[in-house]
A and B are shown apart, each in its own frame.
Chain A
Amino acid sequence: MAGILGIEYVLPEKVLTNDELAEAFKSWSADKILKKTGISSRHISADGETACDLGTKAAEKLISSYEISREDIDFIIFISQSPDYLLPTTACIIQDRLGLKKQSGAFDLNLGCSGYIYGLAVAKGIVDSGMAKNVLLITSETYTKHINSLDRSTRTIFGDGAAATLVGQGGMTIGDFDFGTDGSGKELLMIPAGGMRLPRSEETAVEYDDNGNIRSKNQLYMNGTGVFEFSIREVPESVDNILRKSKLSKSEIDVFIFHQANKFMLDFLQRHMKIDEEKFYQDFSDIGNTVCASIPIALKRAMGKNIIKNNQKILLCGFGVGLSWGSTIIYTGEENDSFTV
């Protein structure tokens, strides 16, 4: 049975505080930003520091702290929406940088906040079918590179970060999955220009004012209300679906770890879905919303704080850009040291 054998994460060095944001957005105080988002600071990638760099660093940390032999890794999945190049595939670059064997499979997966769930699903499929033994799953994001410094709707929320997860036989067993997709909501979270549909041009670089938020079509746009409405519609249903599929009730779940979007949304979901507050893990006040890295970072932090224990069932749910969402349940099992290879 495929399981999670280890997780590590890294954050870029540079930190952006609410005081600095309050300086840029005069109408919002640092306290107000904290109250609304639950975020006090975020880590920002340096110029020239890419999701590939952060992901490689997270993988190196994973390899050294779990004493993984590079020989044992035979598949690399890189999840990000900030690739180094349009082509080649970032996962191929990472194979070389990590010195992993050439007999490895590698590909990128373009998803945002739901990415970790889909990554676990694909990794589980690869391991359980015997196509590969150990999948290195890297979830790494630098949304801040897509954000206009005068767009408070996104700049207050997103932070950069990367996590590396090893999926193989044993460890925390990965259970069933529930998936969801609604491409009709593609415009709710979008970078309109830069792909083939609308290549970057002088025209797309022109900045415009959207209710006091400044951005161009080359940059990230988020319809916060639309994303919120989508999340409170689909997340409860996805959670119900995965519970039904796994023949479990809500009360049998020990810890709920949702995509760490922001406090406003998570508090509402927790209340609305009647999940015990103490079972609903939130841990992002110092890092913000790190997109596809948010769930593994929260999971690792919960493990470090001894919130994750033996014989537990942990429900994970990711949701966001696409629109795309998914849920799974992981089972920690008996052994104390079950997280090592």
Chain B
Amino acid sequence: MNDEKKLAMLEELMELDEGTLKPETELADIDEYNSMAKLSLIVMMSDEFGKKLTNDQIKSFKTVHDIMDYMA
């Protein structure tokens, strides 16, 4: 999966306009990256990537790129 697709998925998940997210965007700067978005992230990782995402892993994410890496 290419980076554009991953960014688009994350934008959809956080209900952001297309092109809003950049890999280097700090998660702490995104208002929409709230607890509900984190839950959606766990679900997306399981449904789309067959991966188990833990609370600790979520805490370790600093930038959008960190999440994209995990989506690989």
A residues at B contact (CB < 8 Å): 36, 153, 211-212, 223-226, 228-229, 232, 264-265, 268, 271-272
Quick check: is B6 within 8 A (CB to CB) of the other chain? no
Interface centre among A36, A226, A264, A271 (most CB of B within 10 A): A226
- Is B46 within 8 A of A211, CB to CB? no
28 contacts between A and B (CB under 8 A): A36-B36, A153-B35, A211-B35, A212-B34, A224-B35, A224-B36, A224-B38, A225-B35, A225-B38, A225-B39, A225-B42, A225-B55, A225-B58, A226-B55, A228-B39, A229-B42, A229-B53, A229-B54, A229-B55, A232-B46, A264-B36, A264-B39, A264-B43, A265-B39, A268-B43, A268-B46, A271-B47, A272-B46
The 7 tightest CB contacts between A and B, nearest first, are A224-B35, A225-B38, A226-B55, A229-B55, A228-B39, A268-B43, A225-B55
Interface of B is mostly: helix
Within 8 A of A (CB), among B1-50: 34-36, 38-39, 42-43, 46-47
> Which residues of the partner chain A approach B53 to less than 8 Å between Cβ atoms?
229
- Is B42 within 8 A of A232, CB to CB? yes
Complex-state Cα separation, A189 to B32, whole angstroms: 23
Nearest B residue to A188 via CB reads: B55
Our count of residue pairs bridging A and B at CB distance below 8 angstroms stands at 33
Nearest B residue to A213 via CB reads: B35
Inter-chain pairs besides A223-B55, A229-B53, A229-B54, 9 sampled, C-beta below 8 Å: A153-B35, A211-B34, A224-B35, A224-B36, A225-B39, A225-B42, A228-B39, A229-B55, A264-B36
B residues at A contact (CB < 8 Å): 34-36, 38-39, 42-43, 46-47, 53-55, 58
> Which residues of the partner chain A approach B38 to less than 8 Å between Cβ atoms?
224-225
Complex-state Cα separation, A225 to B53, whole angstroms: 10
Nearest B residue to A27 via CB reads: B31
Query: In the assembled complex, how far is the CB of residue B11 from the closest CB belonging to chain A, in whole angstroms?
Result: 17
> Which residues of the partner chain B approach A225 to less than 8 Å between Cβ atoms?
35, 38-39, 42, 55, 58
Nearest B residue to A224 via CB reads: B35
- Is A224 within 8 A of B39, CB to CB? yes
> Which residues of the partner chain B approach A264 to less than 8 Å between Cβ atoms?
36, 39, 43
